[in-house]
Amino acid sequence: MTTNERLAALREKLTKVPNYPGVYIHKSADGKVLYVGKAKNLQNRLRSYFSGLDRHAPKTRALVSRVHDFDFIVVDNENESLLLENNLIKHHRPPYNILLRDDKTYPYLKVTLEENWPRVLQTRKRRNDGGVYFGPYSNAAELQATQSVIQRFFPLVKCTPNVFRTVTRPCNYYHIKRCLGPCRLEVDKTYYRDLVDRVIALLSGKTQELSGQIKVDMALAARDMNFEKAALLRDQLRALEKLAQQQSVTLIPGFDADVIDFAWSSQIVSVYLAIVRDGKLIGANSHLLREGLERAFDQLNVATDDGPALEADAQAELVFQVLGQFYATHEIPRSIFLPQCGDLFSPEKKQLITNLLLALEKDKAERQQRPRGSLEIQFDKKPALTKQLKGTQKKIFAEAFEGLCTMVADNAQGKLRECLNSDEIAQRRMSGLQNFLSLSRMPNWIECYDISTFQGGSTVASGVVFRQGQPAKNEYRKYTIREVVGQDDFASLREVIRRRFKDERRHEIPDVLLVDGGEPQVREVAWLLKSLGLDSVPIFGIAKSRTARDFRSKKVSMSSERIVVPQREAGGALLPELEPATILLTTASPEYQLVTQIRNEAHRFAISFHRKKRDKQSLRSQLAEISGLGPKRRKKLLLEFGSVELIAQASENELVERGGLPSSVAQSVVSFFKTHRERGRSTTED
């Protein structure tokens, strides 16, 4: 089906769509869900996709080029469409719904009180399993720092229950005094439980009480000349003081809330979220929304005298999307404050947001089999909790909360300014590259591919993507070379580009396609693209600078970085049979900064993947190469014999009797190691 035939079929189906509110679902040729959206008028919204294609944003054009069918669901009101849209996005995870979309929640620290020897671990799922959970932590670095302090100064068990049961001796954590070794040593459970209680007190924020207790114990240990224990307690005290400094108590205990603010521009929206748990600001998160703004700002393109009102409506629409998609996958606290958004919403709209969040909270409570909590959504800076306070306490709380709201608003504005400045630099670099390569349009979408190998082994490739001059890391791709045997960079590059432009992504043409290499690599890719009928792909090569040293002189000469441009016909068709042109880049120019950054990122991504793959292969046990030895049998053999060397020396009968192997598998093991020994002797004789 040609593009015109596909659009004609979609427009024909569009005539049967009603003018009612609802949710629409765009689908690809193979039935995959590409995008889920909601609309007050389904027919008008869907018509906007399939008409005026030249006026669409690049992302919308790419979406429409993949749409072969659509479905729609009519609902009674906007509240139902919000809930249905969020449920469908969460279920299908469409590639074009990327507004705050992820499948992760904030991490927790868990103390496993359900185990005989409790330990502290990270988790993203909170269950009713007898453990004690602390968090959530919005900043993973803060969580890592807290857990690191606990592991260093509180010698609790580190290994899993399965490892705990099967080890034959205490591990290295015992020898460096970070574990008491209860797996194989006698440990006083009362003392161990005291350590666990102190960790719980630390994570609960009871720092003053815990500090006093540690100081008393440290003095007693020093009096009894148990200086090793006193030193450990001293280190615990210092760690406790450090953690206490990181958490500033701004509000009263028991106050759980999220404070959210927005900073607006036509292309970017900054969202800043402060997380308060038990009266403490435990962290903050910022999100920059670049994609997905077309739908929220559609009304801005309507020519009318009510511009400001329309802008407020568009902002309110985006707030709906952010709250719905964010809290569909994250914990909903007791209170949510939107202190600067009150003017955006009518009383009906405020009630609509409240209903949405209440419905999400009800759904979470039912799925987690827990009682529902009370939920407060405020559009100002007056928490209902202040009604419970009196006098000075009420004044202090109000001032602290006012300061928190101001901090959130300032951070949202600061993140927006920072992003706009960064975009200005990226815009200058893209404009420089457009002029340098004489491109017909701004290179907003750039892809770069690089090959990494070592003596023909573990060959991999990387594909990095830059959008608007910035890395789009969620679009990076790793490729394991499957069809090429040995070292052949040209064949590897052909395989990667062929896989990149396979049928389902054939139409997704970047503004610039870079390959890390010179003239030979560019000609190889040009031949491939021509054979695939993709002459329109703007292919270029980025060749590294070369150094040359004269042994008779101390001087080192270095060539310039250069761009390799394939020859084309007047109509734009590639001519790979002709030698490509080479253009030298001026050092420190905007285009130089952009292409070298992209090339270096592709190289970094490829070589890190290659090293990981090579290390994994080098660490693979010899036992994994023997047919009939699965993970369970390998583990049993290692536990019984102690090492691979002793297994290699064992007889067939020992493998059957001690290792529990079938006779045929034991024969395979003996034969495998016999062959290896013979190869070793042959190599030595040679």
> Following DSSP, what letter does each residue of 326-388 receive, concatenated?
HHTTS---SEEE-TT-GGG--HHHHHHHHHHHHHHHHHHHHHHT-PPPP-EEESSS--GGGGG
Among 35-44, 453-462, 572-581, 672-681, name the one with the lowest average pLDDT: 672-681
Q: Residue 337 pLDDT more than 70?
A: yes
Q: Is 638 helix (H, G, I), strand (E, B) or coil?
A: helix
**Which of the four pLDDT bands, split at 50, 70 and 90, describes residue 495?**
very high
How many helices (H) and strands (E) in the chain? 21, 21
Q: Which domains does the chain have, with CATH numbers?
A: 3-92 (3.40.1440.10), 108-246 (no CATH), 257-417 (3.30.420), 445-617 (3.30.420.340), 622-685 (1.10.150.20)
Q: Residue 550 pLDDT more than 80?
A: no
Among 120-129, 131-140, 208-217, 295-304, name the one with the lowest average pLDDT: 295-304
Per the CB < 8 A criterion, the answer to whether 296 and 317 are in contact is yes
- pLDDT, mean of residues 110-134: 85
Distance CA 508, CA 33 (A): 17
- pLDDT, mean of residues 294-308: 41
Distance CA 487, CA 453 (A): 8
Could you tell me the two tokens for 141?
Answer: 């670095």
Distance CA 331, CA 333 (A): 6
Going by their DSSP bridges, the two strands 562-565 and 335-337 should be labelled as unpaired
Helices 347-368 and 307-327: crossing angle, nearest 10°?
Answer: 10
Q: Is 98 helix (H, G, I), strand (E, B) or coil?
A: coil
Residue 195 burial (10 A CB sphere; 0-12, 13-18, 19+): middle
Distance CA 477, CA 465 (A): 9
What pLDDT, on the 0 to 100 scale, is given for residue 389?
Answer: 61
Q: Give the type of residue at 430.
A: M
Q: Residue 1 pLDDT more than 70?
A: no
Going by their DSSP bridges, the two strands 539-543 and 562-565 should be labelled as antiparallel
Per the CB < 8 A criterion, the answer to whether 454 and 610 are in contact is yes
Per the CB < 8 A criterion, the answer to whether 137 and 143 are in contact is yes
**Which of the four pLDDT bands, split at 50, 70 and 90, describes residue 228?**
confident
Neighbours of 44 (CB within 10 A): 11
Residue 588, φ and ψ in degrees, nearest 5: 75, 5
Residue 303, φ and ψ in degrees, nearest 5: -75, 110
Give tens-digit pLDDT for 595-639.
999 999 999 999 999 888 876 665 456 777 788 888 888 888 888
What pLDDT, on the 0 to 100 scale, is given for residue 566?
Answer: 93
Distance CA 45, CA 34 (A): 16
**Which of the four pLDDT bands, split at 50, 70 and 90, describes residue 120?**
very high
Distance CA 187, CA 40 (A): 66
Q: Is 121 helix (H, G, I), strand (E, B) or coil?
A: strand
Give tens-digit pLDDT for 23-33.
899 998 888 88
Give tens-digit pLDDT for 33-59.
888 888 888 888 898 888 877 777 767
Residues 6+ apart with CB under 8 A from 244: 207
Q: How far is CA 53 from CA 4, 58, 441, 511, in A?
A: 12, 10, 17, 18
CA-based nearest residue to 654, from 673, 669, 632, 635: 669
Going by their DSSP bridges, the two strands 376-378 and 335-337 should be labelled as parallel
Could you tell me the two tokens for 297?
Answer: 């700002």
Residue 254 burial (10 A CB sphere; 0-12, 13-18, 19+): exposed
- Highest mean pLDDT out of 255-259, 490-494, 552-556, 559-563: 490-494
Helices (H), 36-186: 42-49, 58-66, 78-92, 140-153, 161-166, 172-175
Per the CB < 8 A criterion, the answer to whether 319 and 82 are in contact is no
Rounded to the nearest 10 degrees, how much is the dihedral formed by the CA atoms of 177, 181, 182, 186?
A: -90
Per the CB < 8 A criterion, the answer to whether 156 and 118 are in contact is yes
Give tens-digit pLDDT for 395-424.
777 777 887 888 888 888 888 888 888 888
- pLDDT, mean of residues 142-161: 82
What pLDDT, on the 0 to 100 scale, is given for residue 100?
Answer: 55
DSSP H/E element including 448:
strand 445-454
CA-based nearest residue to 601, from 501, 466, 488, 509: 466
Per the CB < 8 A criterion, the answer to whether 469 and 426 are in contact is yes
What pLDDT, on the 0 to 100 scale, is given for residue 381?
Answer: 59
- Per the omega criterion (within 30 degrees of 0), is the bond before 538 cis? no
> Following DSSP, what letter does each residue of 382-415 receive, concatenated?
--GGGGG--HHHHHHHHHHHHHHHHHHHHHHHHH
Among 35-39, 433-437, 680-684, name the one with the lowest average pLDDT: 680-684
Among 172-176, 266-270, 373-377, name the one with the lowest average pLDDT: 373-377
Distance CA 307, CA 426 (A): 30
Could you tell me the two tokens for 412?
Answer: 């949202």
Rounded to the nearest 10 degrees, how much is the dihedral formed by the CA atoms of 465, 466, 471, 473?
A: -30
Among 87-96, 218-227, 575-584, name the one with the lowest average pLDDT: 87-96
* Average pLDDT of every residue of the chain: 80
What pLDDT, on the 0 to 100 scale, is given for residue 310?
Answer: 44
Q: Residue 292 pLDDT more than 60?
A: no
Give tens-digit pLDDT for 514-547.
999 889 999 999 999 999 889 889 999 998 776 6
DSSP H/E element including 271:
strand 269-277
Strand-pairing partners, residue 120, are 111
What pLDDT, on the 0 to 100 scale, is given for residue 109?
Answer: 86
Task: Measure the N-to-C terminal CA separation of the chain; round to a whole number of Å.
Answer: 65
Residues 6+ apart with CB under 8 A from 615: none
Could you tell me the two tokens for 48?
Answer: 């906007």
Distance CA 183, CA 187 (A): 9
Could you tell me the two tokens for 624?
Answer: 């994994």
Among 92-106, 378-392, 445-459, 644-658, name the one with the lowest average pLDDT: 378-392
Per the CB < 8 A criterion, the answer to whether 501 and 532 are in contact is yes
Per the CB < 8 A criterion, the answer to whether 174 and 181 are in contact is yes
How are strands ordered across the β-sheet holding 120-123? Answer: 120-123, 108-111, 132-134
Q: Residue 197 pLDDT more than 80?
A: yes
Distance CA 159, CA 376 (A): 41
Q: Residue 588 pLDDT more than 70?
A: yes
What pLDDT, on the 0 to 100 scale, is given for residue 551?
Answer: 58
Q: Residue 670 pLDDT more than 70?
A: yes
Q: Residue 357 pLDDT more than 60?
A: yes
Going by their DSSP bridges, the two strands 539-543 and 547-549 should be labelled as unpaired
Share of the chain above pLDDT 90, in %: 19
Q: Residue 160 pLDDT more than 80?
A: yes
